[in-house]
Structure 1
């Protein structure tokens, strides 16, 4: 609709030129995104185990079989717990740090912001390798520092609970900077006049935060939540580098399980069905949050 309004507002000659300029982008999107997506949908309703030859007959049972797979159910539980944990922690920590950096009385706040952004600039693979070295039971600096103060040195990635906790902490360390940037931009856009009027009316800092900052920032917080939720539901890199889904299957996420089914078991049909189920779940959750955001804005 927005595109039609834009094109209709142009003169006839410019409209044709604009469509010609935009058409390569649409063709590129079709080739790069839509065609593989449709092909994956086609594959997901066929039997295709790569080690047994080419694509087999039509078989819609991939979808009900996947939904009954206990390993997928386990990875789904892990993914939901991981997503909920990292999103809540990152929003809380990121909002707190954004509020501090928004305070103009803090000196060198741009320097602090740059330091906080450094983890976000690193690829997830690099982050995983760095933390794997830091957490090494014998050579890692974290266990060495714990030994200096007489505390026990755990094997961080060998315990199911500690390994899951470690992935959460590493993800928060890596991704919180994004939340800080989004929320800091939102705080900067808030009108100063509202806070000045509240101060004249005798509102203290807590009241201004609770009754002005939070309501005005809620749409921005929801946008950040949607983006991070989508990313967290697809978590693969950190799990692959840090734990490979272990110990056992205690840290296996949906994306990592799809990787195992595709590249290890070579079951193309089943893994494609899993990927589409994950896509549908992400779309539905995004629509729910967007609906909530629209109600908040109204």
Structure 2
């Protein structure tokens, strides 16, 4: 049945199913929200009524597609249920997180969760440790420039005709196969241990009286950056290596015939062709860097004095050590907004940078 064969009455029935189920979902959700905020008690024990109303809305929406659009609506059913399931896994937790963010909810308190409006935002605005963590994230993200340069250099070396090239490719990829927590324990907790660690012993043998890799704020921050870079540089390297191998050899041979060798060939031929891959690798690396927490939590717990703190590790401590669920969720929501805004701007700049020039 095509759309031309569907009567107006049938279309009205389909639209009625959609709007009726959507209205029921909105009413149930508003009723439960009003009960949670303490405005009126509707006798709901949990959020299951809203879940059931959403399932009814999803079923009616899929059914209405077939009623309204016929065969074309049946094709929509291959995608629409999956889309509705993804929405349920993102929108509802986000709304629940917003509800918690505007609440005073400390797990160590017997009073339970209480709505407190913008009090968490005011507390965040006057929280120097949170702004310190945001400042540290700027430094950590800026270090990606150095990581990119190292990864590009390694990719150029591995793309060349060197001895045991396959062995070196596997060897350079090994840090990526390790868990960051394992790296933190093996290197941060063992090799860099100030009393009995092998690197500390080596430093004392070279004349350093009291070697410490985490006592000075900048030294601790640099050590965290080095450990994180050692773990994730292979990821950028393998992406750049794949991009280098995709460059047609005819272009490089033509550049040699024209006399472009060495640095000039790299700057005029290789680097412009690698720009899309480079931007992609950097953007993905930024996403991973913004989630940096495991190495910091395992080694320094944000110390000394918050010098190595990241936003994620600071939020983790708000949850785990202070049991402050409401305030921690507000910090996470604000950080999410900042990430969305920042990544949107970066992606627009990246699209403009990689746009073909005529």
Please confirm whether the aligned pair reaches a TM-score higher than 0.5, indicating the same fold. yes
* Deviations 1:33-57 (CA, angstroms, capped at 9, x unpaired): 4332221122112222222232212
Q: Residue 45 of structure 1 is aligned with which of 72, 83, 102? A: 102
Q: Which has the higher contact order (CA 8 A, sep 6+)?
A: 1
Q: Residue 189 of structure 1 is aligned with which of 246, 252, 263? A: 246
Give the Å deviation of 1:180: 0.4
Give the Å deviation of 1:25: 4.2
Give the Å deviation of 1:263: 2.0
Show the counterpart of 1:262.
319
In 2, the alpha carbon distance for the partners of 1:190 and 1:260 equals 47
Show the counterpart of 1:68.
126
SS in structure 2 at match of 1:119: helix
Show the counterpart of 2:7.
none
- Normalising by structure 1, report the TM-score: 0.88
Q: What is the 5 A alignment of 1:74-113?
A: 74-85=132-143, 87-103=144-160, 105-113=161-169
- Normalising by structure 2, report the TM-score: 0.74
Question: Which structure has the larger Rg?
Answer: 2
Give the Å deviation of 1:158: 2.4
Show the counterpart of 1:129.
185
Give the Å deviation of 1:153: 5.2
SS in structure 2 at match of 1:211: helix
Aligned residues: 284
Say if 2:204 and 2:211, in contact at 8 Å, map to a contact too: no
Give the Å deviation of 1:24: 5.9
SS in structure 2 at match of 1:50: coil
Q: Residue 271 of structure 1 is aligned with which of 306, 314, 328? A: 328
SS in structure 2 at match of 1:266: coil
Give the Å deviation of 1:58: 4.8
In 2, the alpha carbon distance for the partners of 1:165 and 1:208 equals 34
Report the RMSD for the aligned CA atoms in angstroms.
2.1
CA 1:142–1:18: 2 relative to 1, 3 Å: farther
In 2, the alpha carbon distance for the partners of 1:32 and 1:142 equals 46
Confirm or deny that 1:213 pairs with 2:235. Answer: no
In 2, the alpha carbon distance for the partners of 1:13 and 1:213 equals 50
Confirm or deny that 1:120 pairs with 2:176. Answer: yes
Task: Structure 1 unaligned segments of length 5 or more: list them.
Answer: 1-11
In 1, the alpha carbon distance for the partners of 2:338 and 2:158 equals 35
Show the counterpart of 2:48.
none
Give the Å deviation of 1:289: 1.6
Q: Residue 282 of structure 2 is aligned with which of 197, 215, 225? A: 225
CA 1:64–1:194: 2 relative to 1, 3 Å: farther
* Deviations 1:141-190 (CA, angstroms, capped at 9, x unpaired): 11223344445551112222221111011011111010101111111111
Say if 2:203 and 2:211, in contact at 8 Å, map to a contact too: no
